[in-house]
């Protein structure tokens, strides 16, 4: 399928030229330097030619091939901005998105950066809370949408965006990190959750209860609190896959190898009504789905 020049390519290209470097362009656009660099690489793949030249001690400059795109890029951005401004007068100027801490910290940064390149005048307001509370706020029209992570429900759940597994993590020095672990091996262990009132509590009681007695569950207060608690005690941390992938890859935490799969969890979207096609909320959800489908993101 033929790839087209996108507005995000043009915004980044113009910002690099006007600001004289990748770092300055990122600050102007309100995104990370990595987002600017990745967008430039995408444009290079599209054109089959280099876009920038590195100058030691100075900012990046555009190649001759990139310079030829500048007038076209300005026209495309101008046309896009005019179209969005017209739509915005009748449409949504802010998105009120509720979510849990792990999604806000570990899944949303990339999609939000990509969204802001496309919709620079739409404000995304993030509210952090518990799943049940967030769904209630959507029902009361206090939020436009909620992203929650909960126990997997029946197949073909229309609200499910993706699914993943819970990971049981321990210190690399923990004896249980070296072999296959059964539920009964975990009977005497304390389990750390980011929030004791969250969705994982019921899942763990159901899963671990099969070992003969209910587990001891404690709240660490946050994702980082779980990770620090695991390293400073003999506790087992319970986190969704995407929230601990970097530490497992680096070896700073170890995942328990269980003889029985941990409970599946579901990333769910709640809205009062389906987003209008082409609306800012529809575009934001599309960017989140792209992140979920990327190889380095949550996998079903």
The string of pLDDT tens digits covering residues 127-146 is 998 888 898 899 888 999 99
**195: pLDDT confidence band, cut at 50, 70 and 90?**
confident
**59: pLDDT confidence band, cut at 50, 70 and 90?**
low
Return the pLDDT at 144: 93
184 has pLDDT over 50:
yes
Return the pLDDT at 111: 93
CATH architecture classification, 161-265: 3-Layer(aba) Sandwich (3.40)
**252: pLDDT confidence band, cut at 50, 70 and 90?**
very high
Mean pLDDT of 96-100: 93
Q: Which of 56-65, 87-96, 237-246 holds the top average pLDDT?
A: 237-246
Stretch(es) of the chain classified as CATH 1.10.10.10 = 7-89
Return the pLDDT at 169: 94
**196: pLDDT confidence band, cut at 50, 70 and 90?**
low
Mean pLDDT of 60-72: 89
209 has pLDDT over 80:
no
Return the pLDDT at 153: 59
CATH 3.40.190.10 correct for 92-152+270-293:
yes
pTM over 0.85: no
Stretch(es) of the chain classified as CATH 3.40.190.290 = 161-265
Return the pLDDT at 70: 93
Stretch(es) of the chain classified as CATH 3.40.190.10 = 92-152+270-293
**299: pLDDT confidence band, cut at 50, 70 and 90?**
very low
Pick the CATH number of 7-89 from 3.10.20.90, 2.60.40.10, 1.10.3720.10, 1.10.10.10: 1.10.10.10
Query: What percent of the chain is modeled with pLDDT above 70?
Result: 87
B/e letters for 257-269, b = 16+ CB within 10 Å, e = fewer, are ebeeebbebbbbb
């Amino acid at each position: 399928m033929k790839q087209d020049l996108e507005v995000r390519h043009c915004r980044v290209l113009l910002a690099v030229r006007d600001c004289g470097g990748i770092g300055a362009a990122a600050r102007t656009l309100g995104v990370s330097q990595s987002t600017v660099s990745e967008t430039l690489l995408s444009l290079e793949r599209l054109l089959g030619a280099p876009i920038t030249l590195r100058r030691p001690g100075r900012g990046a400059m555009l190649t001759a091939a990139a310079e030829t795109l500048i007038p076209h890029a300005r026209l495309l951005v101008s046309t896009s901005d005019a179209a969005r401004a017209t739509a915005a007068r009748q449409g949504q100027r802010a998105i009120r998105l509720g979510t849990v801490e792990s999604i806000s910290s570990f899944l949303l940064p990339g999609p939000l950066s990509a969204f802001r390149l496309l919709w620079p005048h739409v404000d995304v307001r993030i509210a952090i809370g518990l799943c049940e509370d967030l769904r209630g706020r959507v029902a009361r029209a206090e939020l436009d949408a909620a992203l929650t992570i909960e126990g997997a429900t029946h197949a073909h759940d229309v609200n499910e965006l993706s699914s993943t597994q819970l990971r049981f993590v321990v210190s690399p020095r923990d004896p249980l990190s070296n072999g296959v672990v059964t539920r009964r091996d975990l009977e005497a262990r304390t389990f750390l959750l980011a929030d004791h009132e969250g969705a994982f509590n019921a899942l763990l009681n159901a899963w671990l209860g099969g070992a003969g007695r209910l587990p001891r569950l404690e709240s660490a207060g946050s994702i980082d609190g779980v990770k620090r608690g695991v390293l400073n005690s003999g506790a087992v941390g319970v986190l969704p896959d995407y929230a601990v992938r970097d530490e497992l890859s680096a070896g700073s935490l170890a995942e328990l190898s269980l003889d029985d799969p941990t409970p599946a969890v579901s990333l769910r979207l709640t809205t009062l009504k389906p987003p209008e096609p082409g609306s800012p909320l529809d575009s934001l959800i599309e960017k989140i789905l792209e992140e979920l489908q990327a190889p380095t993101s949550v996998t079903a």
